[in-house]
Structure 1
Amino acid sequence: MALAATPCLAEPAMTAPPLTVTTSIAFPLNTVVGPVRAGLLCMPNGKLRGRDFLRSQRDFSLLIQRALSERQADPSLARLGDLQVDLQRMRVKLCARSWGVFGTGDRKALSGQAEFTFAWSSNRDSAATKSIARIIIERNKDDAIPTEEIMEQALNRLLDQIAQSSL
């Protein structure tokens, strides 16, 4: 996949230069990332693909940019310099419990577990070594959400880990 550079302000321009984020996805988005089940008994109902979480490489870049813009005041992220984020792997086991007996109901709200593996690095150090972050999102049937929100939660948790490591 091609890399995309997306500038995003980590803090107001007067105190820090723009944080440049480069992203990549290490697998084709049409790759099956896990099963989807449906109904009260979570019976097999198909497969989820990477594109169910991210429509494109550009979508991935925009989601990270949005998550960073919500954290503009976080000084730990401002110290990072340029940031490289690679989505290495995605594995899910999700269920649309409210799909209902006759196939009616909310088919997008999913519960279960989604696991994301990211590699990231920054140019804050002279030797930019990649760090690996494994993010697990677990939702119960009462807190089911669409795949796009699951991806947003994973990126926010990734940024939390990156911010913690830069302290």
Structure 2
Amino acid sequence: MIALALAAAAASPTPTVYAITRIGSDLAADQVVGVKRAGMMCMRNGVIRWSDLAAGHAMDQREAVQDALEDADIAVTPLGESAAADSKRVLRLRGVVRAASANLCARHWLGDSKALSGEIGVTIEWRAESRATATVERRHESVITRTIDAQHAAPAAALYRALLGDAARDLARWLSDPASAER
């Protein structure tokens, strides 16, 4: 009986734990990613830069990813900690924003930037790297777009956080798929 249990334990794969280390960007802060419009007819009123979308603390972005993975029952280390158990395979998880786009309108005639609606999108490349060798073991790309109606209008940074949450849920679905381990 003990031999069977030991054989089963040896045959089962080592559980993977993810450590979310970074959400970065290939985009320069002043890079134009879209057009801002204003007024009832949404006339051109300026540009949207990457810094308008990505405003906020890096820890907030990592927490959004952490929450989505935990909600999908994917094992993650607490933010700021490394996995203590040697019996677990730890992969560092990094996200890199490769592209962003926005075509947003502030319906108020003065162009209230706290109530933007329209189309917004982001492409994030996710990499799971071996903690021991820094080798990329798994790679996935999330391409997320949203159309925001006037009823759900919000500041640009809040719209980006919603996209990041969508991308993290896409990542969680991919990590949960056993076939993804082979990619």
Measure how far apart 1:24 and its partner are. Answer: 2.0
| Equivalent pair of 1:42/1:96 in contact (CA under 8 Å) | yes
Residues 1:109 and 2:118 aligned together: no
Secondary structure of the corresponding residue to residue 40 of structure 2: coil
Per the alignment, do residues 50 and 136 of structure 1 end up closer, same or farther by CA in structure 2, a change over 3 Å counting?
A: same
- Aligned residue in 2 for 1:95: 105
- Aligned residue in 2 for 1:67: 64
Identity %: 23
Per the alignment, do residues 49 and 127 of structure 1 end up closer, same or farther by CA in structure 2, a change over 3 Å counting?
A: closer
**Following superposition of structure 1 onto structure 2, how do residues 9-158 of structure 1 map, counting pairs within 5 Å?**
19-55=19-55, 59=57, 61-71=58-68, 72-76=70-74, 78=76, 81-97=91-107, 99-100=108-109, 103=110, 106-123=112-129, 128-158=137-167
How many residues get paired? 145
| Equivalent pair of 2:16/2:75 in contact (CA under 8 Å) | no
- Aligned residue in 2 for 1:5: none
- Aligned residue in 2 for 1:3: none
| Equivalent pair of 1:77/1:162 in contact (CA under 8 Å) | no
| Equivalent pair of 2:126/2:139 in contact (CA under 8 Å) | yes
RMSD over aligned Cα atoms = 2.6
Range moving further from structure 2, 142-151 or 31-40 = 142-151
Measure how far apart 1:64 and its partner are. Answer: 2.1
Structure with bigger gyration radius: 2
In structure 2, give the amino acid aligned to 1:96: A
Per the alignment, do residues 108 and 122 of structure 1 end up closer, same or farther by CA in structure 2, a change over 3 Å counting?
A: same
Tell me the TM-score normalized by structure 1.
0.75
In structure 2, give the amino acid aligned to 1:147: A
In structure 2, give the amino acid aligned to 1:108: K
Per the alignment, do residues 80 and 45 of structure 1 end up closer, same or farther by CA in structure 2, a change over 3 Å counting?
A: farther
| Equivalent pair of 1:19/1:83 in contact (CA under 8 Å) | yes
